Structure 1
Amino acid sequence: MLTKTQDARIEAADTAPQPMTMIQALRSAMDVMMERDPQVVVFGQDVGYFGGVFRVTEGLQAKYGKTRCFDTPISEGGIVGVAVGMAAYGLRPVAEIQFADYFYPAADQLVSEAARLRFRSAADFTCPLTVRMPCGGGIYGGQTHSQSPEALFTHVCGLRTVMPSNPYDAKGLLISAIESEDPVIFLEPKRLYNGPFDGHHDRPVVPWSRHPMGNVPAGHYRVPLESAAVFRPGSQVTVLAYGTMVWVSECAARETGIDAEIIDLRSIWPMDLDTVVASVKKTGRCVIVHEATRTSGFGAELAALVQEHCFYHLEAPIERVAGWDTPYPHAQEWAYFPGPDRVGAALRRVLEQEGRA
């Protein structure tokens, strides 16, 4: 397994690394920030006494009390609306939407209030709000527990959209999100909570405790927002991915033997365009992989950006590998996901092109 090139801009942590799952790394990020900053509050459905449906917030209420980590009614609009008010008042709320599929009742608060507060107040107010949302499939959750709505957030000026692929990045990005003065949509791939998947089955390839990216410092550190990572260096083709699809793409490259350079976007928007452009100009080919449906997915924006900035360097048409353009198929979710076979076929297609005349 080839590991990610470490970002030189990552701040050094103040404690030695220890094995963590993504769940533990996210909890550690909130723990660190709640300890450092009394203005940080954590809330959402079942996040207090119960510790969250995925146990990400387990133990935080016992440690910090019911005024710092507390449960809310089943009202996503209320959760985000209250969070916007808290952020404007000077707190740093970390609100959980139990599944990303549930954010729609809160869309008006996110789009019309959180995203625009800084602009409509001429920066008199900011909105340092983080909204955590488990996203994607892998638990047979059906149509209302498995969606990947990241493209909807990237269309909203004023929102930042983040999706980590591993515990180390998850903690560093969440700390950066909580410290940001802008609202951040923090999407957490459920399939990666306990270990990376290769896409062929629903069991981890290797537990995070035995993977280098599962070694997470216990203290405070940041992974900068808007900073992509070279997950796997390569020379034949660039793969642009994020979240679970980073691991699926790595498996496809390994199984096909193709020397693919995999770029993990990490911050989906605003994104690190410089890293993307440099890689595509180097390889001359580009495959884009995401779990969400193909039509109007974020891959379309990526394809447009690569076309605009790398046209004269492209040796083959840009390929997209994505979910089906259908409602989420509960019984067929492992066929719905882009897997190593579909990604590998796309890699082979772009390499079969003859290139520029």
Structure 2
Amino acid sequence: MSDSAAAGGGDRPHGMKTAPTTYAGALRDAMDQALQADPGVVLYGIGADGASGIFGTTKGLAERHGGHRVFDVPIAEQALTGLAGGAANAGLRPVLVHQRLDFMLYGVDMLVNWLSMWRFISGGQAKLPLTIRAIVGKGWGQGPQHSKSLHAWFAHVPGLQVVMPATPADAKGLLLASIFSDDPTLVIEGRQLYSMTEEVPVEPYRLRLGKAAVRRAGDDVTLVAIGAMVPEALAAAERLAEAGIAAEVVDLRCLAPLDLDTVIASVRHTGRLVVADPGWQRFGAAAEIVAAVAEALGPELKARPVRVTWPQSHSPTSAHLEGAFYPGAAEIEAAARIAVGRKDG
């Protein structure tokens, strides 16, 4: 398996055969290749072996690898999380899939009070190679019980890795890296990204966890984006370019480990910062990034940082209200214009 941390500095590998693949398809390919590579990899979740295969991300894998390795489970999130910890402690590499991140909250006691601490309480001797995929819903009336984006909660806890792929190629490379990591890892996926298509390497490869990617270079303002906000930030950068504003777009990829070096280097270059975070503002990931940049650069900043986040409210069920709830490219563009002192449209 190619490891681009060695070959390409943490970015996607070069010189590999590619094929157009959706985000959902890339997740499925990563799971398929992990199951092929290591007999210790097992995959389970509600509907994991069903005909639809959790929005297509596990489709056909039970038939290909057997029901003893890819299987359905009862609705018992706390027990399923404990099962992952026990399996990992016994030498397997389990992958648990939650169709909605909201449902994973029933397993938080096990995740936070046990799994995150396992390496610490063992004096660094124990490994716990487990991966939990959690999907954040959006659209078609998801409402507040199916659309929580709580990445900042989990990034706050020492001992947990938190991964948020924004592209199909990253979805594959980061999921494979997560599965073959020796620490408990959450891979948080925006459901609205599943239909995104791009060229993805066919062979298995891993992207370095904790290495951000500069998706677009620019001199005027840095747009740091997380997960599903990355394509919105890139769209905003296109609009800004038409107005003569060069925005640099940094895709964090991971919240834990967090690549502050890349963020700070970019903001040192542009002098301005906008953070686009698919979550609530207060005590959120955007707040942490702004604080870290302010501590590092202080008076070097040319303008106050700006955050683009969800309103401090639960997401509505109404499609009309939902359209007004979620910020996107327009809000990021407006924030960047404030940062550079160009509020005119």
Instruction: Give the TM-score normalised by structure 2.
Output: 0.92
CA distance in 2, matches of 1:228, 1:159: 18
- Which deviations, in whole Å up to 9, do the C-alpha atoms of 1:301-321 show, x marking residues without a partner? 111111111213200001001
Counterpart residue number, 2:95: 94
Counterpart residue number, 2:128: 127
CA distance in 1, matches of 2:109, 2:68: 26
Counterpart residue number, 2:181: 180
Counterpart residue number, 2:285: 298
> Is 1:117 the equivalent of 2:118?
yes
Gaps of 5+ in 1: 1-5, 196-207, 209-213
Q: Secondary structure at the match of 2:30?
A: helix
CA distance in 1, matches of 2:92, 2:265: 39
CA distance in 1, matches of 2:301, 2:83: 48
Identity level (%): 39
Q: Secondary structure at the match of 2:56?
A: coil
Q: Is the 8 A contact 1:237 1:283 kept in 2?
A: yes
CA distance in 2, matches of 1:302, 1:252: 20
Q: Secondary structure at the match of 2:63?
A: helix
Counterpart residue number, 2:275: 288
Q: Secondary structure at the match of 1:137?
A: coil
- Which deviations, in whole Å up to 9, do the C-alpha atoms of 1:183-240 show, x marking residues without a partner? 1000111111002xxxxxxxxxxxx1xxxxx111221111110000001111100011
CA distance in 1, matches of 2:140, 2:152: 22
Gaps of 5+ in 2: 1-6
CA distance in 2, matches of 1:7, 1:299: 28
Counterpart residue number, 2:323: 334
Tell me the number of residue pairs that the alignment of Structure 1 and Structure 2 aligns: 331
- Which deviations, in whole Å up to 9, do the C-alpha atoms of 1:29-86 show, x marking residues without a partner? 1111100100000001110133433121001100011110001101111111100000
Task: Letter of the 2:98 partner, please give it.
Answer: I
Q: Secondary structure at the match of 1:219?
A: coil
Counterpart residue number, 2:4: none
How far off its partner does 1:274 sit?
A: 0.9
Q: Is the 8 A contact 2:12 2:170 kept in 1?
A: no
Runs of 4+ residues over 6 Å off in structure 1:
none
* Residues 14 and 33 of structure 1, relative CA distance in 2, 3 Å threshold: farther
* Residues 24 and 283 of structure 1, relative CA distance in 2, 3 Å threshold: same
Larger CA deviation: 150-159 vs 15-24? 15-24
Counterpart residue number, 1:252: 236
CA distance in 1, matches of 2:341, 2:142: 38
Q: Secondary structure at the match of 1:225?
A: coil
Counterpart residue number, 1:28: 29
- Which deviations, in whole Å up to 9, do the C-alpha atoms of 1:222-279 show, x marking residues without a partner? 1110000001111100011121211111112212332110100001111111100100
1:240 paired residue among 206, 213, 224: 224
- Aligned CA-pair RMSD: 1.6
CA distance in 1, matches of 2:171, 2:54: 18
CA distance in 2, matches of 1:128, 1:51: 27
CA distance in 2, matches of 1:48, 1:15: 30
Counterpart residue number, 2:54: 53
How far off its partner does 1:136 sit?
A: 4.5
Q: Secondary structure at the match of 2:233?
A: helix
- Which deviations, in whole Å up to 9, do the C-alpha atoms of 1:102-128 show, x marking residues without a partner? 111100111011111111111332110
CA distance in 2, matches of 1:341, 1:10: 28
Task: Letter of the 2:291 partner, please give it.
Answer: A
